[in-house]
Amino acid sequence: MNTAEKHKIRVLIVEDEPPIAQEIAFNLEDHGFEIAGIAMNAGKALDILYKQKVDIALLDISIMGSKNGIELGQIINEKYKIPFLYLTSFADPDTIDKAAGTYPEGYLVKPFKDDDLAPALKVALAKFERRKNMGLPTLEEINRKPDVQISPGEYRVIQLIWAGKKNEEIASDLYISVNTVKSHMSNIYQKLGVHSKPMLIKLLRAF
């Protein structure tokens, strides 16, 4: 990947009505998103999540198959740790309560306006990023330690390590090579006196 090329956010669409799924896909592509895949059921969605990089998912609640969108959302929370929004025609209190229990980053009731979709995803991504970093000490807090001077670039790597990202994912998110990621990590470890990611996380939790 050309590191100068802007990374496009990859979206998984889970919707069992093909015309609606295609309309959503075209809408998002027009706003600069990339479609990681379209799934009509939870099984196909999980297959896409396992095989491809997905940054965010749109989940219809009422879908074909043995698992509905809420059950799929719970699995995504447990295994894939990516943000997701629900798309549904259901706005009854019981459905909303069940959906809220899976901590989605948004809930869009059909029919929604075309102009609502892309902003909802952007807000969801920002909310998720903030929630991931809750509890992580700020750069200023880290640099208050004696003889420690973490750079802003190194801190961004720390944020992604804190979020559970692998080296390859960090490289993709920051548009740098894996070797550069490893170099940053080596510098971070040396500055903070740790030797591994678990040791780094333990140190950060102690701030």
CATH number reported for the structural domain that contains residue 94 in this entry:
3.40.50.2300
CB-neighbour burial class of residue 206 (10 A; exposed 0-12, middle 13-18, buried 19+): exposed
* Structural domain ending residue among the three candidates 131, 147, 175: 131
pLDDT of res. 206: 85
Asked whether residue 89 falls in the same domain as residue 150, the answer is no
pLDDT of res. 1: 40
What is the span of the domain harbouring residue 43?
A: 10-131
Asked whether residue 87 falls in the same domain as residue 107, the answer is yes
SS3 191: helix
Asked whether residue 184 falls in the same domain as residue 113, the answer is no
Domain count, the chain: 2
Residue 5 lies in a domain: no
Residue 21 lies in a domain: yes
Predicted TM-score (pTM) of the model is 0.67
Asked whether residue 115 falls in the same domain as residue 18, the answer is yes
Asked whether residue 71 falls in the same domain as residue 126, the answer is yes
Asked whether residue 114 falls in the same domain as residue 182, the answer is no
Residue 41 lies in a domain: yes
33-52 core/surface letters (b: 16 or more CB in 10 A; e: else):
bebbbbbbbbebbbebbeee
pLDDT of res. 130: 78
Asked whether residue 98 falls in the same domain as residue 17, the answer is yes
pLDDT along the chain (207 residues), means of 10: 61 95 96 96 96 95 94 90 92 89 89 90 88 83 92 92 88 90 96 93 88
pLDDT of res. 76: 92
Q: How far, CA to CA in Å, does 58 sit from each of 7, 87, 185?
A: 19, 7, 33
pLDDT of res. 6: 58
